[in-house]
Structure 1
Amino acid sequence: MSIEEPASAERRMDEKSRIQSIGKMREILGCFSTVDRHLSLAEIASRAGLPRPTAHRMVSSLREIGFIEQNARNGSYSLGIGLFELGSLALANMDLLREAKPYMDRLSRLAGESAHLGVFNGYQVIVVEREEPGDRPTRGLQPSEASPAYCTGVGKATLAFQRPEVIARVIDGGLKPYTNKTITKAEALKEDLAAIRKRGYAIDDCEHEIWVRCVAAPIRNASGAVFAALSVTGAADRMTDKKLSDLAPLVVQTADTISRQIGFQPQG
């Protein structure tokens, strides 16, 4: 039986320690959300399941690389700009963004309205791309803008296909009324999401912005999970009921095409 050399054993221990540290840092970053933007060290330690000294050491390391920031007034912590910069780079290199752009451009030109691409982050939808049909002034969501999942087209098109606990979490976060058409009752929202699942697309009827209507469809990844959505958005006076109805099949078809381009394979 051979005895492992001390240097080799030490390297393996160092590698194991680094992996464990990365895992702990990931747990700490996962403590934050759009609802819990600011946390104390005690809250971080409790949520991450770490001893307070360990949590403090990890938080200090994350602060050094800009992934966490500390409020000088009350000592609370929040996610840092370094994560935003890294996330923006990741989004720019996503297969979704590369594959979707030409289809979004075509959809926008055919519809004569703007097309939005949004990615669900577990609470909200982040708009990662927007295409315009021409020189028309832009209205509505802009790239990198976060939008509510319960009252926008891209938001509802993704939220409708999430697990019940994810839908419950969004509802528990509050259904703020952005307009007089925003759905603010949990049961009414659940009924709307059920209708979206049945017909395959979502409608935003001036629910987030009073002058905007849109139709949106879900995008699936290679495993079949809905993680993003595509919409056609326009001014309410142009987006009539008939136009929304006419555009819905085109939006669904485009979203399905993008899904297949990034690896989704429908069954049957």
Structure 2
Amino acid sequence: MRRSIIIAVVFFIFLAPATTFSQAKKEAWTIAAIPSSIRIDPVTNKVIEDRFLSNKTVASSVASRNWIYDGTKVKLSAAKGEYVSFQVLLTNRSATPLKGIAIDMSSFKKDDSVWDIEPELFLEWSVEVKTPSTGYPKATLGNGWYPDALIPMQYIQQKPVTQSNGWVYPLQLPDFNNRIDKQISQIFWVDQYIPLDASPGTYTAEVEVTIDNIVKKIPVEINIWNFTVPNENNLKASLQHEG
């Protein structure tokens, strides 16, 4: 009897990881959410600022689980009259390019109340740094690809149809236009302005990515605090630009 139990336990230990790994292999692409305060290298899928983080474990796992995303849901908090932001990370886990990528997000709602101000979606355009910055040897993050410009998704024309002020931009990974060699990830930026008349409480929405009729969603929650950010400037500043 004891021998049978030991054999069963050993069998389970070896079987469980194999099943999980098999399921992961079948997943050609994944999506996750990351905070607005970090940047992901689209080639290595690692946090660019990880050299400044003392906890390397956090740096290595932040793409799948972090302080705003528990692996299944995004949770944010904000006051009325301010912007709240996060990023959506799309990762290609296969050797086949992903084509016909579509991303969308629903409006935030609570009960029967739906915000008129919709989330704003942007495609993050990366730039390649080939020569490190000089004069700041301890601060430079070195060569590589850096997410930089934000292209509003509303101006990206993904299909060959007539559209004024549109840019024909077939979304695919690797990105045909950005020309990132060995790119495995594409990052999208999400902005949401909190209406001044929003009542306190929790509002929900969903961000979804569709590829080849396969839809994956991430629920998003925003907890609205019961105060408003004043629409006035109480800080005097002197700005000087030298170039």
Larger % of strand: which? 2
Larger % of helix: which? 1
RCO higher in structure (CA 8 A, sep ≥6): 2
Using the size of structure 1 for normalisation, the TM-score is 0.27
Using the size of structure 2 for normalisation, the TM-score is 0.29
